[in-house]
Amino acid sequence: MKTNYKPGVLLLEDGTEFSGLLLSSPASHKNFGYGEVVFNTSMTGYQEILTDPSYYGQIVCFTHPHIGNTGINLEDPESARTWCSGLLVNHLCDEPSSWRMTQDLNSYLLSHHIPGLFQVNTRALTVHLRSKGVLRGVLLPESEKAQGKNLLLDLPPFEGRDLICEVSTRKPFLWNSKKESSTEIRPEIQIVALDFGIKFNLLRSLEKWGCRIEVVPAQTTAQEIIQKKPDGVFLSNGPGDPSAAPYAVETVRQLLGRIPLFGVCMGHQILALALGAKTYKLRFGHRGVNQPVLDRSTGRIEISSHNHGYAVDANSLPTGVEITHINLNDQTVEGLRVKGIPAFSVQYHPEACPGPHDSLALFEQFIHTIKGHVPKIS
Q: How many residues does the chain have?
A: 378
3 state SS of 72: strand
Catalytic pick from 48, 306, 349, 353? 349
Catalytic pick from 78, 265, 306, 334? 265
3 state SS of 256: coil
CB within 8 Å of 80: residues ≥ 6 apart: none
Question: Is 351 considered catalytic here?
Answer: yes
In 3D space, the residue among 147, 95, 85 whose CA is nearest the CA of residue 116 turns out to be: 85
Q: How far apart are CA 305 and CA 265, in angstroms?
A: 10
What phi-psi label fits residue 57: left (phi over 0), alpha (psi between -120 and 50 degrees) or beta? left
Do residues 339 and 320 touch, judged by C-beta distance below 8 A? Answer: yes
Do residues 130 and 143 touch, judged by C-beta distance below 8 A? Answer: no
In 3D space, the residue among 200, 324, 197 whose CA is nearest the CA of residue 266 turns out to be: 197
For 312, other C-beta atoms within 10 Å of its C-beta total 27
Question: Is 353 considered catalytic here?
Answer: no
Question: Is 334 considered catalytic here?
Answer: no
Q: How far apart are CA 108 and CA 82, in angstroms?
A: 10
**What residues are labeled active site?**
265, 349, 351
